[in-house]
């Protein structure tokens, strides 16, 4: 698997996304409504949390693990859509 920029990722200046190392992961440049660019940036910024939650869900072996993973997934979805 290819390594990606470490999370968490955060939206900076409205539409740029920066990683934990403060390097830009994705740069704004969307040519549509600003709200769409900001929503896209939030989705991109939530990618590490979504990946981690998806992996935890797939790896869950017990119901308790699955409940924790589902809570992680809900939080990541909320981050992506807030």
Q: Is the pLDDT score of 1 beyond 60?
A: no
Average pLDDT over residues 22-36: 77
**Domain residue spans in the chain?**
7-45, 46-82
C-alpha angle 36-37-43 in degrees, rounded to nearest 5? 90
Q: Is the pLDDT score of 14 beyond 90?
A: no
Q: Is the pLDDT score of 15 beyond 60?
A: yes
Q: pTM (2 decimals)? A: 0.74
Q: Say what the pLDDT of residue 16 is.
A: 86
Residues 6+ apart with CB under 8 A from 55: none
Q: Say what the pLDDT of residue 30 is.
A: 66
CA distance 2 to 40: 23
CA distance 45 to 66: 24
Between helices 47-59 and 63-81, what is the axis angle to 10°?
160
């Amino acid at each position: 698997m290819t390594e990606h920029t470490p999370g968490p990722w955060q939206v900076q200046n409205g539409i740029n996304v920066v990683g934990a190392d403060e390097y830009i992961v994705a740069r704004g440049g969307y040519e549509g409504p600003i709200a769409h660019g900001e929503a896209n940036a939030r989705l991109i910024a939530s990618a590490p949390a979504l990946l981690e939650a998806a992996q935890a869900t797939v790896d869950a072996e017990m119901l308790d693990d699955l409940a924790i993973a589902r809570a992680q997934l809900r939080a990541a979805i909320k981050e992506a859509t807030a």
